[in-house]
Amino acid sequence: MAFPYMESVVGFMILMYIFETYLDIRQHRSLKLPNLPKPLEGVISQEKFEKSRAYSLDKSHFHFIHEAVTILMDTAILFFGILPWFWKRSAEFLIYTNLNPENEILHTLAFLSGVMIWSQITDLPFSLYSTFVIESRHGFNKQTIWLFFKDMFKGICLSIILGPPIVATIIVIVQKGGPYLAIYLWGFMFVLSLVMMTLYPVLIAPLFNKFTPLPDGELRQRIETLASSLKFPLKKLFVVDGSMRSSHSNAYMYGFFNNKRIVLYDTLIQQCKNEEEVVAVIAHELGHWKLNHTMYSFIAVQVLTFLQFGGYTLVRNSKDLFESFGFDTQPVLIGLIIFQHTVIPFQHLVSFGLNLVSRSFEFQADAFAKKLGLAKPLRAGLVKLQEENLSAMNTDPWYSAYHYSHPPLVERLAALDESNKKEE
């Protein structure tokens, strides 16, 4: 008797949904607490706390509904054989349009087109509600309905342009890869990631946002001086019009080797009280670079990608695996989809481990900024960003440990204060 792969996957998905819902309930209870955590009393205003609490509870209620609908749809798709049914309908569509259904690349692209349409339709109500009800209710949404659909259209166009050559290449590699298939697949994805990391900020990101050089002035001078003192090869310093869509704020850097760029959200500059707070936030980001966190993360992703492809090569010809999910053929893309479902338990463990490492990196980057003499403005900047973004003030420790890649504000401030005490 063949192993019940599909039933096992569905069973684990339901178990994980129950476990994560339990964590969500714990977090929801924490969000309902009427008082600030003691370390934040006198640091965060009561007005901001009440707004944060209302915003977080709204998002929490929405999350419960979204996750319930998602698990129902995902379970139904697997349990009732929707994937093999849709694969067969894709072949019929190709016959109807006088295209060859025996061509696996064409068949796969037809299948993915239908999946993309289905995803857009099912995700649209949730995206609209999140953006134009929750985000608008709490003063974050700045985009019009026209801009929303314009962005969605651009995203679909990018998928149509970039998707087919990537999918076709993967199929050809699997068909002709032989014993070194995992290496070839990893090599292709490695090159693709480098290409996308290079092209995205130059060609794709500007399709959605306007990037302008940070004007000359004290802020620009201080950031350039800081970068120079750390030997960070800063080539360009941009401000992005994040306020066009949202009042949430952020900052990031990108680029290879000696061609680094820093991007500040205009909302970040507006929200921080002075240039020193912005510089402290940038110092934190530069800390990630100086401490090689970005490189370590990139290497970890590459290792995990290679291991995943290695695992895929072991099961890609398993007839029992495909039949368990309702397929009487073994298409490349379907094999990858099924494999991703079968390794979900490992993915959860890996995600948890990466979050632990990420939180450690955040503490280290904070400590790095502190060593530069920016502890006070960093503290003020973190508090300001927490207030302006209405981030959750009360967090459940189990929920935080499982989900958060960044430590809660209370923990980050405590770490900064602890390092101050040690120096006194």
Residues 172 and 231 in one domain: no
The catalytic residue among 285, 387, 388, 396 is 285
Residues 196 and 216 in one domain: no
- pLDDT exceeding 90 applies to what percent of the chain? 58
Q: Can you list the alpha helix ranges (DSSP code H) found in 177-217? A: 181-199
Q: Please report whether residue 311 resides in a domain.
A: yes
User: Angle 332-342/104-129 helices, nearest 10 degrees?
Assistant: 50
Domain count, the chain: 3
What whole-number distance in Å separates Cα of residue 119 and Cα of residue 138?
A: 27
Residues 162 and 52 in one domain: no
* Residue-number span of the structural domain to which 92 is assigned: 5-140+290-413
* pLDDT tens-digit series, residues 371-416: 999 999 999 888 888 888 888 899 999 999 999 999 998 999 988 8
Q: Please report whether residue 150 resides in a domain.
A: no
What whole-number distance in Å separates Cα of residue 206 and Cα of residue 220?
A: 21
Residues 216 and 197 in one domain: no
Q: Please report whether residue 46 resides in a domain.
A: yes
> β-strand 234-240 against 211-213: which pairing, if any?
antiparallel
Which is higher by pLDDT, 136 or 420? 136
Residues 325 and 387 in one domain: yes
- Which of 29-43, 104-118, 262-276 shows the lowest per-residue confidence on average (mean pLDDT)? 262-276
Q: Please report whether residue 399 resides in a domain.
A: yes
Residues 112 and 182 in one domain: no
- 421 contacts: CB under 8 Å, gap ≥ 6: none
Residues 239 and 319 in one domain: no
Give 259's pLDDT tier (boundaries 50, 70, 90). Answer: confident
What whole-number distance in Å separates Cα of residue 368 and Cα of residue 370?
A: 5
pLDDT value at position 123?
Answer: 95
Among 234, 222, 214, 362, which Cα is nearest to 287's?
A: 362
- CATH number for the domain that contains residue 237: 3.30.2010.10
139 phi-psi bin (left φ>0, alpha ψ -120 to 50, beta other): left
Residues 227 and 264 in one domain: yes
Q: Residue ranges for the binding site for Zn(2+)? A: 284, 288, 362
Q: Residue ranges for the binding site? A: 284, 288, 362
pLDDT value at position 424?
Answer: 44
Among 115, 183, 155, 181, which Cα is nearest to 337's?
A: 115
Residues 15 and 127 in one domain: yes
Catalytic status, residue 285: yes
Looking at residues 280-306, what average pLDDT do you find? 92
The catalytic residue among 135, 277, 366, 396 is 366
Q: Can you list the alpha helix ranges (DSSP code H) found in 291-331? A: 293-315, 319-324
Residues 13 and 134 in one domain: yes
* pLDDT tens-digit series, residues 218-254: 889 999 999 999 988 888 888 888 888 887 777 888 7
Q: Are 132 and 183 in contact (CB under 8 A)?
A: no
What whole-number distance in Å separates Cα of residue 156 and Cα of residue 29?
A: 38
Residues 188 and 118 in one domain: no
Residues 200 and 216 in one domain: no
What whole-number distance in Å separates Cα of residue 100 and Cα of residue 103?
A: 6
Q: Please report whether residue 53 resides in a domain.
A: yes
